Each structure stands twice: as structure tokens, then as C-alpha cells.
Structure 1
Amino acid sequence: MMTFSGIGDLLAHQNAFPESGWIFVEKSFDTTSEKDIREGRFCIAQDDDEEFDLEETHCTWLEAPMFRAIVGERLEKNPAAPLGELIAAAIHYLDKDTFMP
């Protein structure tokens, strides 16, 4: 299992993500909290057994490929997007099921 401490760590390792699968968060994670996204623990399963275990103990946040798409789309619009803007883009996608304008 891959684990990441905060969205900065997640962003730094996004090229190592599997082609499919979920990014998991702890059940107490608030998906609309900038603080939780900045500082929370993210997990990605590396095989089916790990994914099954994570589904039992964690909640899903975003699919790994969708996270990369959200970040990529935001950076296309603003190549110098600060971390807060990337967090806002993820929250917007979770809330509206569409990319942030």
C-alpha cells in the first residue's frame, strides 16, 4: 500500500499512481476541509487484497486517475496554481462532479 501525508505528498507522487483504483482516506476525514486535505493521510492500494482491506477500514476520496485529471486541468488553466487552488479544484469536483471553471 502506498501512503501519503497530505496533498503535497500526494501531488509529488502522482506519477506513481496505478492506472485505476481509489485514493482512500480515514473515515474521520472531512472531504470539504482544506485542513484535512492539506494534512490528512491518503492511501492507495497496490493490489486487490489491499483494496479490499482499505474498503473495510477507510472511505474513498477520489479515483487516482480522476485526481490526476483534476490537477492537470487546473494546471492547464493556471500553470502557477498554488496548493490552495488545487485543493479548491478537488473540493469543487467532489461537490459538483465537474471541473472548476
Structure 2
Amino acid sequence: MPDVGWLYVDKEFNLKSKMDILNKDYYLAENRDESFDMAENDKIRTFLESPTFCDIIDNRLNHHPNSNRDELLEAVIYYLEEDDFMD
């Protein structure tokens, strides 16, 4: 996962859908120019900043080291809905 930049998803991606989060495509810019192009693309939108996504997972694992995939998914959805980390 890159240290900077955004994760992008298709426009119809439902941010609250576990199925979409698990099964849809994600896009990462490979360089600065591509990042600008992706930001202007009307077929995709931002999902989370890459460092924020990593922080969500790290926070969950720090509080609950044995978290499974579903619990990590819950932490991502919680962040998207509450703009806060799940403890």
C-alpha cells in the first residue's frame, strides 16, 4: 500500500456495502500525473486515502490482535460512517 495517495473506486461503488468493499475493484495511481488524471475522472471517485486505510486496519489490530476479515471490514465501514476509528 502506498504511503501517500488515494484509493479510488467506481462511481457506483456503495461505501456501506460489505459486498462492494470485498468484491469491487480498487484503483491506485502509479505516479503523480496519474493521480491528477484519476482525480479528474468522472467514472471513479475516492474511497479512502491509502494511509488512512492502513491506519484503520492497524488500529483495529492494535486493539484486537486476533481480528478476522469480517471484523476488519466492520472497522472500515465504521470509519466511513463515523469518520472515527473503532476501538
TM more than 0.5: yes
Which aligned pairs between 1:1-101 and structure 2 lie closer than 5 A?
Answer: 17-55=1-39, 56=41, 57-101=43-87
On the 8 A contact 1:22/1:62 being kept in 2, the answer is yes
Equivalent residue number for residue 12 of structure 1 = none
User: Sequence identity of aligned pairs in percent?
Assistant: 38
Check conservation: 1:29, 1:36, Cα contact below 8 A: yes
2:14 partner SS:
coil
Return the structure number with greater helix share: 1
> In the alignment, which residue of structure 2 is the partner of 1:3?
none
Kindly name which structure, 1 or 2, has the bigger radius of gyration based on alpha carbons: 2
Q: TM-score, normalised by structure 1?
A: 0.79
SS at match of 2:61: helix
What runs of 5+ residues in structure 1 fail to find an aligned partner? 1-16
Report the alpha carbon displacement of residue 18 of structure 1 after superposing the two structures with TM: 2.0
Aligned pair count reads 85
Normalising by structure 2, what TM-score?
0.90
Unaligned residue ranges in structure 2 (runs of 5+) = none
